[in-house]
Structure 1
Amino acid sequence: MTAPGTPQEYLDWSENGVPASALWRSANKAPAPKRVVPVDDSITADVAYRLASQGVALLWTGDFRNARQILTALEHRTKPRPDKTERTTAELFYRYRQNRSHRARILGLLLVPLEIGNVIGLRRAPDVRAATVDAYGSIAEASVVSLHEVLGTIGAHQWRTKGIPVTALNASIYPHYGTFFPVRSEYVDLVATAPLAAPQVAFDIGTGTGVLAAVLATRGVQRVVATDFEPRAVASARETMSQLGLNDRVEVQLTDLFPEGRADLIVCNPPWIPATAHSLLDAAVYDPGSRMLKGFLAGVIDHLEPNGEVWLVLSDFAELVGLRSRDDLMSVIDSAGLRVIAALDALAVHSRARDTSDALHAVRANEVTSLWRLCANSDRAAHGLN
């Protein structure tokens, strides 16, 4: 879906000597390719990979199922080769990120037409209307999109239709496309079980689907203000509150970081890896320069009631791969005028922690998510700290 004010980009190509053009769309904010050539069922996977490696986008004009086969072949060719070299954890992470970037670039260059009415104009194409409306809105102009991204919209729509069970809520939520799905239960469970002294007002900063705001409301917080700077997330969180019957207790605002006023409890689960995001969904995990983490900590005291608490929920993945040290984190907390009351830890239970084929398996298996209970320096006595 193109954000208001976003310049529209068009792709131009020639087909049988006839110039053609269509609007470029990317729900993940991928840049428009510079060169496009039409291809059909006669192209081989090797030729497709060679062209994509040169930055040439391939606009598919043949059978949809054959396009999927080519995409699968491209995926196979972008898999990392076995590497028996002994490497540091930091080197493994760097290679992992390199491969992810290369893979995303190659797979994003196989394109399909998305016509008026959200229809893929190819033989044997599936009905993608519902899924693509979620991602792009209603298509009123002939467009071109990445096949890999379209398949992602189909998967996301299936999750949205099916729902994601959240044990802490004893309910399912139905995230919008482009919003980070709460399939990792560790951080939700920490917020659901941390000691809570019946605060009247809580802020949930960077709410995403709104799951943490909903948990706080169901735990008895009288008023919760949830914020996010992504319109998709705000829409998703508002729908979550409506579905759970929490509209009278949770207000969702479109803003960067803090709402107006102060709260007794301020919660934030920021992206946990200080590195560049390569897609819209990556932004829920990758935070260049720890912008959100540092911005949250630097401003939180100005929005915290006296004797209030801050809950910072953060994975130590960045520490395990050498992108941030524990001392770095403690220094940022201290510079913000905050002190640690306690830390509640949860071991990784998500599926990737059990995937031994993952080059970063050792890191993921040892990952710990912590809920840091923080207070202002002046509140140390109130929490029994010396």
Structure 2
Amino acid sequence: MTENAASSIAWTEDGSDRTSRWQSENGAPPPRVVRIVNDSTTADVAYKMATIGEALLWRGDFNNARQLLSAMTRRVPAAKHMPDASPAERFHLHRQYQARRARVLGMLLVELDSDVRLGLGRAPDVTAAVTEALGPDAAPCVLSLRELLGMIGAHEWRRTGVFVPALDASIHPHYGVFSPVRGEYVRLVTDAPLPVTDRAFDIGTGSGVLAAVLARRGVASVVATDKDPRSVACARANIEALGYADRVEVVQTDIFPPGRAGLIVCNPPWIPTKPTSGIEHAVYDPGSRMLKSFLSRLRGHLAPNGEAWLVVSDLAELLELVTRAELLTAIDAAGLTVVGRTDTTPTHSRVTDSTDVLHEARSRETTSLWRLRAR
């Protein structure tokens, strides 16, 4: 839960002043102006209110609220075509566009009562979804409908899971934890030649998928780390469900656990800019803090003749946010040498989506597993 999640939102309804706890996953401050709206509110009126910073607290039918949100979404102008912009300019302008769009669509609000329920007609039971996302003390609160729908979607992902061929089983991602739907990095770790070792670290484990792959490949002891409590809980649940709890320990810490290992695997965030929500920490890392910290401290945690696998996309290079030379310099400065590299191309839907503002870069993206050893 974000720092702003515990602040309050205030409004006037039926002549009385009301307040509730404000919940925002991305840390947005509570709106200053809140209007009560219902089934009679048109999409044009709702969109205009949202664009001038007025929040709409919904008191109508739940399904109508979803339809209103869809109608508001259609009224958001499309991202501008930027043929003369550099890749970096295009990326930053697109991030600004996404932030403005999210801000406007996030103005349609709903209220959860103390029983984690919506007092709306035809409303679904959201208790499990909200409790999984925010914990047992989540309600009462007011939050955006978009955020609530995200929790409902995450609940379904968690229930059904994502099948991982390398495990011949499913990983069940939790709310706010990156799902292993981009399977290329899992394949790289599955296929890389495994060094002779009985101990490995999985740094920034997320859902725990790579730690599970290492255990399935025969590593006797794996320590998986993450600094995010949601990721730690998610990884522990997945490791337990997969039957690897006797070989995989999940630890909440920043980067490395104590000690050394003969194999250290890290799939860090690959875009060096600020994340805007919890789940974006798996992709966005300001100044490449995690990558730099991992490399600079790596030698102190590698066992003699040990090997590290750095799994990273070159999308930031294609967007001209970093250079390959910067990565190689950081590797060299850390007293490391590259002993091998395996490349693969992503297969996710954005690679072929020509309407994506960043399509030109995404269509050329490569994900690589860099094999590193101490000099």
Task: Specify if TM > 0.5.
Answer: yes
CA distance in 1 between partners of 2:5 and 2:39 (Å): 33
Query: Alpha carbons of 1:7 and 1:273: their partners in 2 closer, same or farther (altered >3 Å)?
Result: closer
Query: Alpha carbons of 1:344 and 1:134: their partners in 2 closer, same or farther (altered >3 Å)?
Result: same
Residue pair 2:116, 2:139 contacting (<8 A) in 1 also: no
Deviation (angstroms), 1:187: 0.4
Q: How many residues align?
A: 375
Amino acid at match of 2:258: E
Does residue 371 of structure 1 match 2:369? yes
Residue pair 1:179, 1:209 contacting (<8 A) in 2 also: yes
Moved more, 358-367 or 237-246: 358-367
Please name the residue that 2:198 is paired with: 200
CA distance in 1 between partners of 2:361 and 2:308 (Å): 28
Write the deviation string for residues 32-65 of structure 1: whole angstroms up to 9, x where unpaired. Answer: 3333222222322233222222222221112212
Please name the residue that 2:16 is paired with: 18
CA distance in 2 between partners of 1:141 and 1:98 (Å): 31
Amino acid at match of 2:259: G
Query: Alpha carbons of 1:290 and 1:212: their partners in 2 closer, same or farther (altered >3 Å)?
Result: same
Does residue 253 of structure 1 match 2:251? yes
Amino acid at match of 2:210: L
Does residue 307 of structure 1 match 2:305? yes
CA distance in 2 between partners of 1:376 and 1:226 (Å): 21
CA distance in 2 between partners of 1:32 and 1:264 (Å): 48
CA distance in 1 between partners of 2:259 and 2:79 (Å): 53
Deviation (angstroms), 1:321: 0.4
CA distance in 2 between partners of 1:158 and 1:341 (Å): 42
CA distance in 1 between partners of 2:221 and 2:337 (Å): 25
Please name the residue that 1:138 is paired with: 136
CA distance in 2 between partners of 1:27 and 1:222 (Å): 38
Please name the residue that 2:166 is paired with: 168
Amino acid at match of 1:245: G
3-state SS of the aligned residue for 1:71?
Answer: helix
Please name the residue that 2:350 is paired with: 352
Deviation (angstroms), 1:147: 0.4
5 Å matches for 1:59-208? 59-81=57-79, 83=81, 85-139=83-137, 141-208=139-206
Write the deviation string for residues 281-323 of structure 1: whole angstroms up to 9, x where unpaired. Answer: 1111000111111111111111111211111100000000000
CA distance in 2 between partners of 1:372 and 1:351 (Å): 25
Amino acid at match of 2:188: L
Query: Alpha carbons of 1:352 and 1:85: their partners in 2 closer, same or farther (altered >3 Å)?
Result: closer
Query: Alpha carbons of 1:31 and 1:304: their partners in 2 closer, same or farther (altered >3 Å)?
Result: farther
Q: TM-score, normalised by structure 2?
A: 0.95
Deviation (angstroms), 1:141: 4.4
Q: TM-score, normalised by structure 1?
A: 0.93
Deviation (angstroms), 1:139: 5.0
Does residue 342 of structure 1 match 2:340? yes
Amino acid at match of 1:318: A
Does residue 217 of structure 1 match 2:215? yes
Please name the residue that 1:262 is paired with: 260
Please name the residue that 2:29 is paired with: 31
Does residue 273 of structure 1 match 2:290? no
Identical-residue share of aligned pairs (%): 55
Moved more, 148-157 or 354-363: 354-363
Please name the residue that 2:229 is paired with: 231
**Where in structure 1 are there 5+ consecutive unaligned residues?**
378-386
CA distance in 2 between partners of 1:331 and 1:29 (Å): 35
Residue pair 2:116, 2:140 contacting (<8 A) in 1 also: no
Amino acid at match of 2:336: L
CA distance in 1 between partners of 2:294 and 2:53 (Å): 38
Write the deviation string for residues 308-351 of structure 1: whole angstroms up to 9, x where unpaired. Answer: 11111000000000000100111111111111111110111112
Aligned CA-pair RMSD = 1.7
